[in-house]
Amino acid sequence: MPIGDMLFRSVDDSQINGVFPNTFNEYKKWDKEKDELPPEEVYKALFEELAYGEKIQIGRALTRMNYSKSGWKSLIKTTSREIKKAVKKDELPNNYKEFLITANEKWADPTFWYAMGQMVNDATPIYYWNALDRTYDQDQNVVMQDEKRRIYIKTWIKTLKISVYVTIFCLILGFPVAHLLANLPLRYSNLLMIFVLLPFWTSLLVRTTAWIVMLQQNGVINGILVWLGILSDDGRLQLVYNETGTLIAMTQILLPFMILPLYSVMRVIPKSHMRAAQNLGAKPATAFWKVYLPQTIPGMSAGGLLVFVLAIGYFITPELVGGKDGKLIGHWIAYHLKTTLNWGLCAALGAILLGVMLIFYWLYNKIVGIDNIKLG
Amino acid sequence: MALPSYATPVQRTYYYAYLFFCAVVFFFLIAPLFAIIPISFSVSPFMVFTEGMLAWPPDPEAWSLRWYKNMIGDCSADVVSSTVPCSTKWMKGTVNSFYIGTIATVIATALGTLAALGLSRPHMPYKGLIMAILISPMIVPLIITAAGMFFFYARINLVYTFTGVILAHVALATPFVVITVTATLVGFDMNMVKAAQSLGAKPIRTFFKVIMPLILPGIISGALFAFITSFDEVVVVMFMASIDQLTIPKQMWAGIRQEISPVILCMATCLVLLSIFLLTTVELLRRRSEKLRGIKAR
């Protein structure tokens, strides 16, 4: 239900349509081929709706209008000041078009009128285009944003890149450990399992804090490296508040999610298979590659997808450890929700992320089945 | 899986390299958690190992409990420092965390157990679909769930209330209960339910007298999962809670972002101890449950 509401928000444009219903109705009748500027009726409807509309509602609509073209806010504000003055004096103008253009000459600028075209319908895809760094030009075509305003595509790519790296690192680190755990006698493996389960049970924030302590400039790792003489005292590595820090911390945090599914798959592979292969003359490497590895593929795909899917939506760790350039898409979702209050864009970003997730979720279900998720 | 006695030197090298690699990974997993514990006892207001702490023999001047005192709201002069003001927020956060966590756990456990019971009936229609929907809060990134909940709760005026935060945590925690209880119900002998009912017990009585005692370990470990989920949760709290609903994770988050102080590490140490305790409990319960259901301990 909340998700459905979010999807609705991402295309919703009804608020502004509630403020300027007549204007938008008249606007739709405007023949852009014939006249350069909209007809008199549009100006008249706008005048009336600005004069008698609720102030709070207009304010909200203005925020929305500024998303499509900057300048709307000041334009409407100066205009409605003039309109209020005129209404107070009881001097309704004979020609609304002239009146508005005298109030602010931008009303003669067709680009503003074109921008209004984006808002006249109840639903709009503009937030989705914004979330992909695209916007409308004056003829309602979808174009790229200005070079310096393109942030989302870069962030999407970075999010995917980091998720892929984290998955690969988790696989490399997790595979031998899961293999060891699965092949040791139970007494030892249960003991070692604590090493995997304890981080799994510990608060995410605790682990993130721990990594800041470990990685910061006079933190544990740099301290040890300097003490060992590998680094000089002023050559300390910048490990935290950048992508490296995000990668290291996320790998450690998500590693249990890789080890646990791998472990449960490896447990049930009979040990006799490897021995049989070697008995038949295969070298250990060949036996491993041809006999053991293919049997672990369900575990690898389960763990890999789980880690990838979790990594792609990660928010807390990148936000705290990532610094300026380690931030992922989750950062912008939170930013638009809490800071800019551009909820439409926030919802659109969330919806795209959800779409990506659902694809992987579906794959996961196809490959391993959703019921097979196990905890500890 | 010891090495056979006929292993070649190359095999030996590989084997030891493999063991060494595993040891490194285990170290990588666990070291950060234990690195913070000594630092929380440091006297310095920075989150580092000071020279006094590393000196041998240990320098008693370098160690202190001052940050722990600060955490529990003691504001005497030797406890605060220029960068770490005294604050009562940690204690307030602890109270709120336990309050929200407990209520959310009770509701989530009740709902989750009922859902699991329903889902394990052999003829439940749309089983897969319902399971997928129930589990979805576990898989969908928290940030999306949190944003969606924020929008939805904003419409019904539940944002910035305890009710809203608790309901959100119930939604997040229920899947864990469903999964653990479903796992316990595998191998549960449904004939016992029939037997109880044929002897005249009403469904509610059957549940409390027959089903519940048998699946209790599953319910408890589900409840612990639910509790830790709510207790650790920060994204939803960040969006949906005002200062009145301050919880430990939110205070830690604020602490890490603004004043990096050793008090955070004291709280972190307490949380590590809590998770060790919970992990042990769950592990013991799991063994007991396997014994109860007659599955041979693996």
Residue in this structure with the two tokens 């009562």, named with its chain if needed: B88
Show Cβ contacts of residue A178 under 8 Å, excluding neighbours closer than 6 positions.
A258, A259, A262, A263, A266, A299
**pTM higher than 0.90 for the full model?**
no
CA dist., res. A200 & res. B253, Å (int): 19
Phi-psi bin for A71: left (phi > 0), alpha (psi -120 to 50), beta? left
Q: Is residue A256 reached through a cis peptide bond, with omega within 30 degrees of 0 on the bond before it?
A: no
DSSP SS3 for A142 = strand
| pLDDT tens figures, B201-256 | 888 888 888 888 888 888 888 898 899 888 888 888 888 877 778 888 888 888 88
CB count within 10 Å of CB B291 equals: 12
CB B147 to CB A373 under 8 A?
Answer: no
Phi-psi bin for B170: left (phi > 0), alpha (psi -120 to 50), beta? alpha
Question: A289 in contact with B at a CB cutoff of 8 Å?
Answer: no
Instruction: Determine the pLDDT at residue B285.
Output: 80
The continuous run of DSSP H or E covering A10 comes out as: helix A2-11
The continuous run of DSSP H or E covering A136 comes out as: strand A134-136
> Distances in Å between the alpha carbon of A231 and those of A17, A224, A235, B207?
63, 9, 6, 65
Distance of CA B170 to the CA centre of its chain: 14
Which domains can be identified in chain A, with CATH numbers? 15-123 (no CATH), 152-372 (1.10.3720.10)
Hey, where are the domains in chain B? 9-71, 89-292
Can you read off the two tokens belonging to residue A32?
């852009």
Going residue by residue through chain A (376 aa), what tens digit of pLDDT does each one get? Answer: 555 566 666 556 566 666 666 666 666 666 666 666 666 666 666 666 666 666 666 666 666 666 666 666 677 777 777 777 777 776 666 676 677 677 666 666 666 666 666 665 656 666 776 666 666 655 566 666 666 666 778 888 888 888 999 999 999 999 999 988 888 887 788 888 888 888 888 888 888 888 888 888 777 888 888 888 777 777 777 777 788 888 888 899 899 888 888 888 888 888 888 888 888 887 878 888 888 888 888 788 878 888 888 888 888 888 888 777 767 777 877 877 777 777 777 777 888 888 888 887 777 777 666 555 444 3
CB A183 to CB B1 under 8 A?
Answer: yes
CA dist., res. A124 & res. B115, Å (int): 39
CA dist., res. A7 & res. A11, Å (int): 7
CA dist., res. B203 & res. B139, Å (int): 34
Interface of A with B in 216-275 (CB under 8 A): 216, 218-220, 223, 252, 255-256, 271
Question: Nearest chain A Cα to B8, which residue?
Answer: A284
Cα three-residue angle A231-A235-A239, rounded to 5 degrees: 90
Q: Which CATH superfamily is domain B89-292 in?
A: MetI-like (1.10.3720.10)
CB B261, CB B255: distance < 8 Å: yes
Question: A192 in contact with B at a CB cutoff of 8 Å?
Answer: yes
**Min distance A185 CA to chain B CA atoms (Å):** 8
| pLDDT tens figures, B133-157 | 777 777 777 888 888 888 788 778 8
pLDDT of B104 > 90? The answer is: yes
* ipTM for the assembly: 0.80
Looking at residue A134, the DSSP 8-state letter turns out to be E
Residue A268: which of A192, A368, A183, A173 has the closest Cα?
A183
